[in-house]
Amino acid sequence: MRYDYFPKDQRVQSRRGRLIGVTTGATRPCQLEGCKGVRVTVKWPDGKHTHPCSEGLIAGRRQWRIA
């Protein structure tokens, strides 16, 4: 899978593994100097949105996990 493309409704597991969020399909370039990843918008069960970098996501069998 290309790491600059995250389709809508992909599952994302929180760092501690307690929550499962879903991607919204929105991405934007990462602003960290030298980073080639993209920020992926994730919506969590409480309605909040976060933007983890794709370089910090680990691909699993059925979902992504925040490292």
Render pLDDT for 33-46 as a digit per residue (tens, 0 to 9): 999 899 999 999 99
Label the pairing between strands 38-43 and 11-13: unpaired
How much is the pLDDT for 66? 93
12's enclosing H/E stretch is: strand 11-13
What does pTM read for this prediction? 0.86
Which stretches of the chain score pLDDT less than 70? Answer: 1-5
Domain boundaries along the sequence of the chain: 1-46+55-60
